[in-house]
Amino acid sequence: MKKLPVFTLGVEEEYQIIDPETRDLRSHMSKIVDGAKIILREQVKAEMHQSVVEVGTNICQNVSDARKEVSFLRNKIVDLASEQNLIVGASGTHPFSKWQEQPITDDPRYDVIVKELQDTARSNLIFGLHVHVGIENREVALHIMNQACYFLPHIYALSTNSPFWEGRDTGFKAYRAHIFAKFPRTGLPEYFDSVQSYDNFLETLVKTNCIDNPKKIWWDLRMHPFFSTIEFRICDMCLTVDETMCLVALIQAVVAKLYKMHMMNTSFNVYRIALIRENKFRAARYGTEGLMIDFGQKKEVEYKALMMELLEFVDDVVDELGSREDINYIHKILSEGTGADKQKKVFEETEDLVKVVDFITGEFTKGV
């Protein structure tokens, strides 16, 4: 096969803005976003809750470029927060903050969402990682999206970083998705057999006033309605840049491998979403420590064994993508634990969620 095309990347991260004294989430009153826009322009924006800042890279040609941008963005937001006597952290949920006490950003877009969804929207105090991979041809993008769904739980388990919610240990490694599941049009996407059927679905939702634009489909994986990308939205916000870039590299490699198979007139099996949903639950509950279902063999397998199989599956595209070092970080996550494992360890040792917040903020620029 000829050389792979460039699978461009875009990375979006959602950060927690925290009061250094109480360690609770704190409104930045748009000062961080306004200050950042002078330098970063459209790379930073406010989110629904005033204690959240979202950043996004420019279009990156490879994982190395994306790492530089993510590192720069993390550092810049820390600097701007420090000027307001605030600190920054990265986790899928805050360990003890109450959503009822967090003000909503004054913006027409969020006003509409809150008016429609009420407490479902107000309680959506969560933080995620979104990864865009560039695919110009929409037919190919849809083909890859249908197949990539199988791997979403495998990717999700590595990102698990939301074990606490409103002062409680939820018993999950990732509780964020359960909070978001109250929204309509979330979770795993269904199978579409053509771009026409996909577009007809979107058109029906818009025409019947279910949505006013296709961006209000918030699936774990979607063809972006305005960019030539497929967007992976399942991951929790990661503690460190190394963890983020590991996931970015794995996602890009999965897309590249499925593309390569498509160009060779072969494909990966497409499994029922109901089956994949079983693995997603296991990923959220147990992270990398549990069992997942190997649908081909129809049996339970240790997650770590399935991840080794996935790494072998993508191995022939990794060097061409230039991402082997970032991909190899998976082994460190498997040996040392995910963000959720580390948060839970801090709590087990201290029985103090304030110490967990200190850990989260302390890890934010680690390795940058």
Tens of pLDDT, residue by residue over 318-366, are 999 999 999 999 999 999 999 999 999 999 999 999 999 999 999 999 8
* pLDDT tens sequence across 162-173: 999 999 999 999
- Asked whether residue 368 is assigned to any structural domain, the reply reads no
Specify if 1 maps to a domain.
Answer: no
Q: What is the mean pLDDT of the chain?
A: 94
- Cα angle, residue 358 at apex, residues 129 and 350 outer, rounded to 5°: 115
Q: Is residue 4 part of a domain?
A: no
Q: Is residue 62 part of a domain?
A: yes
> Reduced to 3 DSSP states, what percent helix, strand and coil does the chain have, rounded to the nearest 5?
50, 15, 35
- The sign one gets for the Cα dihedral 316, 318, 322, 326 is negative
Has residue 137 been placed in a domain?
A: yes
Q: What is the pTM of this model?
A: 0.96
Contact 49, 127 (CB under 8 A): no
The pLDDT of 77-84, averaged and rounded, is 93
3-state secondary structure of 157: helix
Residue 85 within any structural domain of the chain: yes
Contact assessment for residue 142 and residue 195, using Cβ atoms and an 8 Å cutoff? yes
pLDDT of residue 42: 78
Beta strands in the chain (DSSP E): 9-18, 44-46, 52-56, 87-89, 128-134, 164-165, 168-169, 186-187, 218-219, 221-223, 229-236, 291-294, 299-302
Instruction: Tell me the CATH number at 294.
Output: 3.30.590.20
152 within some domain: yes
Q: How many domains does the chain have?
A: 1
Q: pLDDT tens digits for 32-62?
A: 888 777 777 778 887 888 899 999 999 999 9
Residue 72: give the domain boundaries: 9-363
pLDDT at 90: 98
- Token pair 């903020």: residue: 361
Does the structure show a pLDDT above 70 at 1? Answer: no
